[in-house]
Structure 1
Amino acid sequence: MEIVEVFQRLGVALAIGLLVGCERGWQDRDVPSGGRTAGIRTFGLSGLLGGLAGYIQTLAGPMLPAVLLLLFGAAFVVFKLREAEADEDYGATTVVAAFVVFALGVTAVLGDVRAAAAGGVITTALLAAKRSLHGFLKQLTWLEIRAGLILLAMTLVALPLLPNETIDPWDALNPFALWLLTVTIAAISFAGYVAIRVAGPSRGILFAGAAGGLASSTALTLSFARFAAEAPESARQLASGATIAGALSLIRVLVIGAVMAPVLLIPLAIALVPAILVMLAASFLIVRRGNGKHGAPDLQLDNPFELGEVLRFGALLGVVIVVSKVLVDRIGQAMLFAVAAVSGLMDLDAITLSTARMTGASVDLATAVAAILIAVVVNLMTKVVLAFTAGGRGPYATTLTLATLAAIAAGAVAYFTLSSFVPAS
């Protein structure tokens, strides 16, 4: 190792310690000098000490670095214990952070500098997120934690045991791929579910709509419709939240389709991006005309990680995959349009995943794009029907209808105007 590289690696080790020390020092910024065990200087020196220990190992072997680690750890723990007794605060986070900084310093010299630097950033972010993480845990219930643990156990334990090949006569169902797709979609929905649970109504209707677009835009539209019937003065603001949720559901379709079959990205974007922009513009226009201060109602969403919910979606996805494959193979690609229309009444994810998997194999690009867009239109209009059914013919339903129709029109104009310029495959 040349001397220039040594200085570079030691500089990274020092920078890691200073970064973590900034966060620790800021947390204890009101403590008088000498009243805390470690701040920016101590953590900076800890990172540098780890780097020096790594460099010494290249010269003299591992014995001396191990002694340095033991002496460093013993001294740090003793001083932290004295501080804890004085403050009656027995948290061990700072001690653990010091050991992590030392280890990252060693890694910066002996291992991959990029991995060490990334570890420093992640460590600092975790330390800084104390309040957010604690607040997140306080909002979760035991049932939600248990559901997540069961699902993780089934995924990490059962997934590797599932056959990674089709097992049905139609060569459509791959248990490994099916479960992996199901869990992925549940994780995306869970992100929105957690955001709503943690933030609550205080963040407002637009935030709830955006998070609901990840969790379940249909459930959010229905919940907002019922609330609008009880609180007509908030109807238009609630419609703006439902419109945001609809826009996020379209973004979700675009991302899922593009990830599963990258060739779908441009054709889908031609139709969906204008529709998304129209819905977002309509939502913010509605908010701007109102006072924008309405709180969101308490949404009753099912936990997407609840085992029953996961199994139901997995069953739906499996049925859509098999039915699509069988009908396309036996009758023709046009049958995919009928499957998309029916599936769009219930869910967009299943038909998007199923169609994307067949794109380029049993279904050509144009047919796949048309099928997904049919499902999107059916799903958007289903939400309009739900708005009228649950919320009446008031401002909520009419505002959502106008925004939805404008979005569909914008998407249709863009699709029929520009799709001819997209390559056929």
Structure 2
Amino acid sequence: MFDSTALLPSNNWPYTEILTRLALGLVLGLLIGLERERRGKEAGLRTFGFVGLLGTVGGALGPAYGLAAIGFTALLAVVLNVSSLRSGQGTELTTSAAMGVTVMAGIMCGLGHTISPAAVMVIAAALLAWKERLAGFSMGISEGEIRSALLLAILAIVIYPALPEGAVGPWNLIEPRAAWVTVILIAGIGFFNYVLWKIYGTRGAELSSFFGGLINSNFTVIGLAQRVREVGEPFVGVAYRGVLLATAAMLARNATLLLLLAPIALAGAFTAFALMLGVSGALLLWSLRQRPAGGVPPQIELELPFSLPQALKYGAIFLLLHVVGGLTQRQFGDLGFYFVSVIGGLLSSASAVAAAAALATQGSISPATAGTGAVLASFTSIAFSLVFVWGTHRPALMRGLALAMLAIGVAGIAGVLASHWAEPWVVQLLQAVEQQRRP
């Protein structure tokens, strides 16, 4: 006699585990259903709760039942669209897509995943909730902006993978991919700056300067200098604060790298980084206070998100510096770690700081030498950024930033001297803390 129960799954789950999976699937379904309910859709809170549970049960029972859950959800979507068309309200494509995403997330919950389905559903809820904002943003995109976005994608996705890996040339001094990353970063930071400016106005340019400084402060300064040449005087104040924010972000990033990679090396540089960050913050606050209270923000018109010729030009400059730095290091060997740190700061202060931390961890150099090298690399990056500001031909901006960077540099030198004086006590304290942490 045929036993129909043999077709059913016979898995035994721990009660707490399966209950947790069902609860997560239900909550994620309700998250989407709440948004749909607030918009007055026919498929709302309860429907999406059931779809989330359905997917979770299907994923837990096995592949066949997961496919059945997907099929049943597709049938629900068909019925929903037919009902909507009959009532003259048009199709419910967005709600149908949301139901499909919900059942798939439920299946992931049934399989035991937690973070992944939660992330998917949060993104889906954001897409539904930001309907008006996304629609307004898309309607405001010009043809030139679309071309710039496609060009940036070609630079990163098409050209970069086609370049040869590693160093090439007779002396292995040229790294095509590393040079092209420079072009991508300059173009990408410019594009990010443009998007934030379009959303938030001049505040967006200042915000993007800080985030750009976390990646590469010199590239961020290049973008700001380019905007000054395009816009003129209205952008000078924004550029001044943007350069200070990029510098502060660079200093914070370098200090954090030392803390993570070689904490004991930070003993010889902590005071320097703290004083430089303090001076940067004070100058930024002073600039903000100088703005007229209740004044009308400057009218700034940016034509394109970024300039490819400018990105290629500065990419060639950084490639040249890379080659010169490599030749110099080969010629002089290990003549001085500080000299190498200065050269490294021209290319990437983050790389120079990471290299210093690695050498200190290996015992090749003392922690104090590594900390001082990190500060020197930061000094070089600060001084190098002024070269790009010089090309704006704005005396007030050049004079203001030169004085600001001089003040930051003096604070750093004072910090280095103070750190060397207090280094023995700080090292003992760090060693004591490290011993307490060991089991």
**Counterpart of 1:327?**
328
Shift of 1:104: 0.7
Aligned equivalent of 1:37, options 39, 42, 45: 42
**Counterpart of 2:283?**
282
Shift of 1:128: 2.4
Alpha-carbon deviations, 1:150-203, whole Å to 9, x = none? 332343344334332211233333333443454345434432232113333xxx
**Counterpart of 1:196?**
197
Shift of 1:105: 0.9
Shift of 1:101: 0.8
Aligned equivalent of 1:13, options 16, 19, 25: 25
Aligned equivalent of 2:78, options 74, 78, 81: 74
* Matches of 1:67 and 1:302, distance apart in 2: 46
Shift of 1:404: 4.0
* Matches of 2:133 and 2:258, distance apart in 1: 33
Give the alignment of 1:208-247 within 5 angstroms. Answer: 208-212=205-209, 214=212, 216-217=220-221, 220=224, 239=237, 242-247=240-245
Alpha-carbon deviations, 1:192-250, whole Å to 9, x = none? 232113333xxx5x543333453743553686699886x7xxx9xx6476134322244
**Counterpart of 2:318?**
317
**Counterpart of 1:291?**
293
Aligned residue identity for 2:36: R
* Matches of 1:191 and 1:391, distance apart in 2: 27
Where structure 1 has 5 or more consecutive residues not aligned to the other structure, the ranges are: none
* Matches of 2:299 and 2:112, distance apart in 1: 51
CA RMSD of aligned residues (A): 4.2
Question: Given that residues 34 and 45 in structure 2 are in contact (C-alpha distance below 8 angstroms), is that contact kept between their aligned partners in structure 1?
Answer: yes
Distance verdict in 2 for CA 1:43–1:156, change over 3 Å: same
Shift of 1:327: 0.7
Alpha-carbon deviations, 1:16-62, whole Å to 9, x = none? 11112223333x2xx4xxxx22222322222122223323447x755
* Matches of 2:160 and 2:51, distance apart in 1: 41
Instruction: Say which SS state the counterpart of residue 133 (structure 1) adopts.
Output: helix
* Matches of 1:143 and 1:268, distance apart in 2: 46
Whether 1:174 aligns to 2:171 is: no
Q: Could you tell which deviates more after superposition, 211-220 or 406-415?
A: 211-220
Shift of 1:115: 1.1
Aligned residue identity for 1:295: P
* Matches of 2:68 and 2:140, distance apart in 1: 47
Shift of 1:401: 5.5
Distance verdict in 2 for CA 1:279–1:321, change over 3 Å: same
* Matches of 1:41 and 1:118, distance apart in 2: 21
Instruction: Say which SS state the counterpart of residue 394 (structure 2) adopts.
Output: helix
Q: Could you tell which deviates more after superposition, 268-277 or 220-229?
A: 220-229
Distance verdict in 2 for CA 1:405–1:44, change over 3 Å: same
Instruction: Say which SS state the counterpart of residue 166 (structure 1) adopts.
Output: coil
Where structure 2 has 5 or more consecutive residues not aligned to the other structure, the ranges are: 1-12, 213-218, 428-439
Query: Normalization by structure 1: what TM-score?
Result: 0.74
Question: Given that residues 334 and 367 in structure 1 are in contact (C-alpha distance below 8 angstroms), is that contact kept between their aligned partners in structure 2?
Answer: no
Aligned residue identity for 2:277: I
Aligned equivalent of 1:372, options 373, 377, 380: 377
* Matches of 1:92 and 1:160, distance apart in 2: 36
* Matches of 1:366 and 1:49, distance apart in 2: 58
Distance verdict in 2 for CA 1:147–1:207, change over 3 Å: closer
Shift of 1:82: 4.5
Question: Given that residues 223 and 299 in structure 1 are in contact (C-alpha distance below 8 angstroms), is that contact kept between their aligned partners in structure 2?
Answer: no
Shift of 1:330: 0.4
Question: Given that residues 324 and 336 in structure 1 are in contact (C-alpha distance below 8 angstroms), is that contact kept between their aligned partners in structure 2?
Answer: no
Distance verdict in 2 for CA 1:52–1:383, change over 3 Å: same
